[in-house]
Amino acid sequence: MLSGKSAIVTGSTSGIGLGIARGLAASGANVMLNGFGDPNEIEAIRQEIADGHNIKVLYNGSNMADGNQIAAMVTEAEAEFGAVDILINNAGIQYVAPIEEFPVEKWDAILAINLSSAFHTMRAAASGMKSRNWGRIVNVASAHALVASPFKSAYVAAKHGIAGLTKTAALEFAEHGITVNAVCPGYVMTPLVEKQIPEQAKARGITEQQVISDVLLAAQPTKHFVTVEELSALVNFLCTDNARSITGTTLPVDGGWTAH
Ligand code: NAD
């Protein structure tokens, strides 16, 4: 379905990004992985995906908080693959605390990684996509691009920002065969969510079990976590030719959360 195409998936050594990378590879696209982690584990993942689908899989460890490293990553992917046709802006971090106690360095890091990185990747990759008159950009936003929750000031600000960036880029690129969409997951049980359970418990003065039942799943009418596979399937579809008229959207995948 996507054979002959090449993709960058930021933050794809874990969680949702890894699931999306696996899905694109299964559809025949070459993939550049990015993210942090144990080098041996990352190499094993890279090798496994490449062997499983007979495609080229590369790893680039650029820090998504650094615009220069991001530009170099896109240049490397264009040189190695010949093109970057698909760009998935997925890298993200979370921190949960009341505004008065929110560490300034966490605010800066969340804005850089969850929002500015997508500007830097698009800025670097758009010319190539325009020259080929084809491109797919999917920003992994969040239900928090559409609604807020307390104690997540930086994350909600960054995710609302990415919704605006998605719409702006969609308008700028619309006549060049490039679509730009944001997918907006509710809670997915990945390391990012596992880590915030004790933080939420502390910020709210409740137990970790109460965080799962009364905070996380309370937001989702379906009362179950969204899965990585569900997100991967949607992103895959957005990258196909059949999705060429879907652009500038913020698509909730949140079990009904934002229907409230
Ligand atoms: P995760 O922690 O499992 O994965 C995050 C990935 O980003 C990892 O590969 C990590 O190495 C990478 N990363 C972090 N900082 C980086 C940096 N500075 N440079 C490069 N890579 C970096 O988290 P996840 O839950 O899979 O989250 C992925 C995306 O999905 C994030 O943008 C997150 O905001 C979004 N999201 C997650 C949920 C959820 O419930 N898990 C819900 C909505 C949106």
Which overall architecture, per CATH, does domain 6-188+227-259 show? 3-Layer(aba) Sandwich (3.40)
CB of residue 149 inside a 6 A radius of ligand 1? no
Give just the sign of the alpha carbon dihedral 49, 51, 55, 60: positive
> How far, rounded to the nearest angstrom, does the alpha carbon of residue 234 sit from its chain's CA centroid?
13
Residue with tokens 């009418």: 221
pLDDT (tens, 9 = 90+) of the chain, 260 residues, equals: 899 999 999 999 999 999 999 999 999 999 999 999 999 999 999 999 999 999 999 999 999 999 999 999 999 999 999 999 999 999 999 999 999 999 999 999 999 999 999 999 999 999 999 999 999 999 999 999 999 999 999 999 999 999 999 999 999 999 999 999 999 999 999 998 998 899 889 999 999 999 999 999 998 999 999 999 999 999 999 999 999 999 999 999 999 999 99
In the chain, domain spans = 6-188+227-259, 189-225
Ligand 1 atom showing the smallest separation from residue 13 Cα: 9
Alpha helices per DSSP H over the chain? 15-26, 39-53, 67-81, 104-111, 117-132, 153-173, 191-204, 208-210, 228-238
Describe the strand order of the beta sheet including 178-185 as a list of residue ranges: 57-60, 30-34, 6-9, 86-89, 135-140, 178-185, 250-253
Rounded CA gap, 149 and 222, in Å? 19
- The catalytic residue positions are 155
Query: Which of 59, 93, 258 best tests ligand 1's pocket when mutated (most atoms within 8 Å of CB)?
Result: 93
CB of residue 60 inside a 6 A radius of ligand 1? no
Full-model pTM: 0.97
Cα angle at 187 between 257 and 238, to 5 degrees?
A: 85
Quick one: CA torsion of 14, 19, 23, 28, rounded to 10 degrees?
A: 0
For ligand 1, the distance from its centroid to the CA atom of residue 93, given in whole angstroms, is 5
Query: Residue 40: beta bridge partners?
Result: none
Give just the sign of the alpha carbon dihedral 239, 240, 241, 242: negative
CB of residue 215 inside a 6 A radius of ligand 1? no
pLDDT of 196: 87
CB of residue 147 inside a 6 A radius of ligand 1? no
Query: Residue 136: beta bridge partners?
Result: 86, 179
CB of residue 117 inside a 6 A radius of ligand 1? no
For ligand 1, the distance from its centroid to the CA atom of residue 106, given in whole angstroms, is 15
